[in-house]
Every structure is written in C-alpha cells, then in structure tokens.
Amino acid sequence: MVSCVDDERLEFQDGDLVVFSEVQGMEELNDGKPRKVKNARPFSFTIEEDTGSYGVYSKGGIVTQVKEPKVLRFKSLRDAMKDPGDFLLSDFSKFERSPVIHLAFQALDSFRKEHGRYPTAGCEQDAQSFLKFVADINEASIDSKQEKIDDKLLRHFASGSRAVLNPMAAMFGGIVGQEVVKACSGKFHPLYQFFYFDSVESLPTYQLDPQDLKPSNSRYDAQISVFGSKLQKKLQDANIFIVGSGALGCEFLKNLALMGVSCSSKSKLTITDDDVIEKSNLSRQFLFRDWNIGQAKSTVAAAAARAINPSLQIGALQNRACPDTESVFHDTFWDGLDVVINALDNVNARMYMDMRCLYFQKPLLESGTLGAKCNTQMVIPHLTENYGASRDPPEKQAPMCTVHSFPHNIDHCLTWARSEFEGLLEKTPNEVNSFLSNPTQYSAAMRKAGDAQARELLERVSECLGKERCITFEDCITWARLRFEDYFSNRVKQLTFTFPEDASTSTGTPFWSAPKRFPRPLQFSATDSSHIHLIMSASILRAESFGIAIPDWAKNTSKLADAVNKVAVPEFEPKKGVNIVTDEKATNLSSASVDDVAVIDDLLSKLEECAKNLPPGFQMKPIQFEKVFQHLYASLRFKDLFAFCLCKCCCHSLLFIVHFLRDVANILYSYC
C-alpha cells in the first residue's frame, strides 16, 4: 500500500504506470522502473511487487506517472469501410447513430457514382433512391449489418448532402488541425479510425416545403438548402450583441458574417471591446494585422468582418460592458436585441452579462476556453438554467509559506516564479511610477497605511531606485546574477541553517516530513545552459523595465557568460533569529512590527533623496506576466483549434435560437 499526503489528491487509474524517487529507507523503489497501479484511491494505491526483502521505509518519496508508448495499428480504408469497428463518439446520447452515418456516406458515394451528382434538397425521388442504396449496402454487410435504420436521419442526410455549412466547416477544420498538431508533435492520442459528428437537432422539427429549399442564386444557397429560406431571412434580420473582440470574438464575427447573420437593413450586429490591439494578440486573433497594432479591437474586427461580407450591418463600440456603461447599453438597446453572445475572458464580466440577460429576458450564448479545454452553454429564458446558477468550486490555493519556503511540486514552483515576476517587474515599477507621479500623495497614503505591507512595498521601491537601480545593461546582468544567488543559494542556505535536516517540530516529529522536501543550494555555473538563459532573460526584462538599450550581444551565451563571470558575488553568512513563516494559515509573509511607522518614515526620506538623482521625467515600464508568455501559445495552437470548434457549437445554437425566436418553448437544450 502506498499512501500520499492528504493535500495531493491522486488522479491515477488502475493500470497506470508510475515511478518512485526520493524514497528513504526502501531505496530499492528508486530504480526508475515503471510499476503498475492497482486499487487506485484518491490518496492511496497498491503495486504488484513483493517488497518483503526491501529495506524498511522511513520517510519521503515522490511518485510520478509515466506514459507508456502506445502503438496504434490502423486498418486500410478498404477494410475499415467493410468492418469499421468501434466509432469515436461525440455525443453519448447518439450511441447508435455513427454506424448509420457510416452507411450513409457509402450510399452517398454510390448515388453520386450512378447519378453523377448529389441528391437534390427536398427531392422525394432522390431521397427514395438514396434509401435504397443504404438498404442494399446494409444487406451486403456481413460483420457490421444494422438491424435498425433511421429513415428520417437518412432523409436529412440526403437532403443536406450538397451543402457546405460554415459551422460544420469550422468544426472539422478545428478537428483536422488538431490531428495535424498531434502528428507533427507525436503527443496526444489521435482519432482512431472513424469519427462522425452531426447536429440534426439544429434542423427544423417540421417538414420543410421543397420550394423553401430551392437556391436563390445567393451566397447563402447552401444554408437555404438545409434550413430553408425562411430561417435564412430570420438570420439576416437578427439583432446580435457580441461582447468581446479577442480570439473568440474574431472567430464569432467571421462565422456570423459567412452565415449572413445581421445582413439586412432591419438588423444590427453590435460588438464592443474596450481593449486595443497589441503585438501579442496577432498569433490568435486572426482578424488583426501588424499595421493594426494600437487600434481599437472592435473597430478593426468590424471592418474585417465587413470585408468578409459587405452586407453585414455592424457597429463597433469601445465600451466595457459593466454597470458604469449602462447609459450606453440602456433599456432601449437591450429591448432591440435578439441574441447575446459572450466572448469574454473573465468570470466577473460573464456574471454581469448573465445578470443583464436575465433581467431583459434575452437568450445568451456563453463560451470559454482554458488550455486544452473548452465549453459552451446555451441560456434560454424560462427554459434553461442561467450561467450564474452554478459555479465551479474555487481552485485550491497552496499556502504562502509552502510556495515561498517549502515547495514540493512543480505547481508550487510555477506559482512562486509568477509571484516573483509580478513583484519585481510589474508591481514594483507601478509603485515607483505612483511615487514619482505624486510624491506627496503617495507618501501620505503609505503613512496612513502604516503596516507591514506598506513597509514591504516601500522597501522594494527604495531598493529599485537605490542600490538596485540599473543604468547600463551590465548593471542588469549584475542584478540578475545576484538574484540567482539569492533565490537558489542564499535563501536555501538560510532555510537549512534555521531548520537543519534533523530538526524537529514542537511535538517531536521530524520537521522535514512529507510533504516537505529538504532542499539543496544550487552552485551557479556559466556553462549550464539553464543558468545562463535565466540570467539572459532576467537581464533583458530588467533592461526593458528601466528603458535601457539592449545590446546585440545580449543573447550571445558566450559573451554573456564572460560578463556574468566578472560579477562579484558576496559570500553568504547565515543569520541567527531569522523568522521563517511555517504557519499554513498565514496569508502574508510579512510580520508586523511596532517600528513600522518609524521605518516607513525613514524609507520615505530615502526615496526623496533617490528621486533627486533620477533624470527628469523618469518612469519605469511595468511588464505583465501574460504578455511575456503569450508567444508560448503559438508553439502548439490547440487554443486556436478549440476556438474553431467552440464557435461552431455556438453557431449551431444560434441557428437553434433564431429558428424558434418567436416560439422558445420548442427549443431543445443540449450540452457541447
């Protein structure tokens, strides 16, 4: 039996492979050999191994899941058509539909081979001929013969077989794009053999008049052949409100423009976003180009959508949807809307829009992406629950003392790194700028606060403008090298001096028991690529923050190593009586002091002296963490691909809503 600490819930399943490391006492488990998990529980599992001859377990240990390479053997297309095997399901409520659609595609090939065309929408003769092909192919099937055939589904298939619909194209474009990324990267499980997707529930529930399906020599003939000209007219007359013009907003605009939504003189599509285009947006927000940087997102996106479809009746606003702009988005504005589409990136804005849609009784299409996940939700007044009716439980946050002094997993290290990044390169420069903009007001605010947090802020600002102020790029290198020594050597030495490896708690138990891991200080080496690249990144970011020109050799590792080796690093001497917070309930690592007021006054005096040595108009450039790491999304474009699929689901929901706009009781609700 292997038991884990209570705050580390396991996600293992029976059959998973794991390896052990850092186990003390039973060192035989540290051989790197993968072992199979049995009897997996939230905090424990067992392994099939006789450990009777192993040493006696004392403490510690890390268990890591490993993925075993998997070889997939695909059938040839000829063999798979005859015997498709199991299908990958997109909707478990349609368990028996994939085999029927598989037959339908074979029948469509036979129909086209005999008639030289696809079935005509609404043509009964073509539908009967198509059904006969299906029956003949099914009868000839030996291993995959279907006992029950859904004639209604097949009629829908035949009637719409000529059409290329934008939502479906976006859906399968995203899926195919994912498969390309999988093939190129060798990561993630590919689709195995056949995958079929349908959205028959988006079709009208009543029989369409064949005359309503006839083409009108317009760009919307494909949609008309599936949904009818009456629905197309409703789409063109719809009044839509899109909130947000980022990655999802751009995809929505493109899809709606191609579908002909809000393309009549009676309609209006309104999009609003208070943000402007930045270079980091260009990789994911495809309606924007280099020459649009600095322009309003909504205005540029609207112009791009109008270029896709000149008939689009679109208006762009630069207002944030919030209580402060209810004079812009007033009652008359809301009363004229048919559907609201959210393309937002934060929960508070979503909650506000959900509240407004509830108040004005408007359908809402809600969607969002998170890494390799996405979701859509269709909110219909009086029929479905609203977005705010259920909330995800808050993510468990690691205690501050764990993150800063006793990290034991990669998430803690990432949280610490982000916290330090924001403190050094965003929050401190913002504080510096606040002080320099209005020293009197800033000083008064700090004296009024008079607490440990105010003192800590002032200490950071004082260091930034005093002993850690950078004037040349060489100063930035020195700062980065000393930071390395502080983070990865001095702090660890101080921690292990205060709490030696044999330290005990007040109850007599070993201090360094699981989940704590006894740390080891790092010795800097200019030949270690991870060390030198950290110095390189930190130096460049520090230079940008101070507005210092970055020399051409800054990214040359050999020249950078020469400069780093010239930095004088003081010898570390551990201090006695240092208070390191170990209380997991503590929310702040700063400790209150009776001398805070006196220290704050002293720091403010130092700041005033530092300000006299600064050039006129000096300001620092705060650097946001998200902006630095935006480029990482471009390496694996899964987020873009999920946006395609997500927006497709919402567009099908839009067809659903608009079709029954005056009779919402007939709308079916589905989860995507």
- What are the distances in angstroms from CA 282 to CA 173, 278, 566, 633, 634? 20, 7, 40, 11, 10
Which 8-state DSSP code applies to residue 8?
Answer: S
Q: Which of 184, 401, 464, 476 is catalytic?
A: 401
Tell me the HSE value of 509 on the side-chain side, using a 13 A CA sphere.
Answer: 7
Half-sphere exposure of 470 (CA within 13 A, CB side): 24
Q: Where are the beta strands (DSSP E) in 210-329?
A: 239-243, 268-272, 314-317
Q: Strand, helix or coil at 460? A: helix
What is the spatial distance between Cα 658 and Cα 647, in angstroms, rounded to a whole number? 16
CB-CB contact of 340 with 365 (8 Å) = yes
Distance CA 5, CA 12 (A): 15
- Cα diameter, the chain: 94
Q: Which residue, chain included where needed, has tokens 């998200």?
A: 626
CA distance 657 to 660: 5
Q: b/e for 351-382, b at 16 or more Cβ within 10 A?
A: ebbbebbbeeebbbbbbbbeeeebebbbbbee
AA letter at 116: G
672 assigned to active site: no
- Taking alpha carbons only, the member of 222, 192, 232, 237 closest to residue 75 is 192
Asked whether 432 and 466 are in contact (CB, 8 A), the reply is no
Helices (H) and strands (E) in the chain, counts: 23, 11
CA terminus-to-terminus distance, the chain = 40
Instruction: Identify residue 475 by its one-letter amino acid code.
Output: D
**Distance, CA of 292 to CA of 301 (rounded, Å):** 10
Q: Count the alpha carbons within 13 Å of 77 in the hemisphere toward its beta carbon.
A: 1
Q: Which residues share a beta bridge with 314? A: 269
Residue 610 neighbours by CB distance under 10 Å? 20
Q: How does DSSP assign 153-164, residue by residue?
A: HHHHHHHTTT--
| CA gap 9, 156 in Å, rounded | 47
649 close to 452: Cβ distance less than 8 angstroms: no
User: What is the rounded CA–CA span in Å between residue 404 and residue 402?
Assistant: 6
Pair of tokens at residue 557: 């590792």
Residue 513 to residue 59: CA distance in whole angstroms = 7
398, 452, 667: which is closest to 579 by C-alpha? 452
Separation CA 191–CA 430 (nearest Å): 48
Residues 6+ apart with CB under 8 A from 381: 357, 358, 361, 362, 363, 664
Beta strand 339-342 with 364-370: parallel, antiparallel or unpaired?
A: parallel
Burial class (CB in 10 A: 0-12, 13-18, 19+), 232: buried
Angstrom distance (rounded) from CA 250 to CA 116: 39
What DSSP state is assigned to residue 322? S
Q: Annotated catalytic sites, by residue?
A: 401
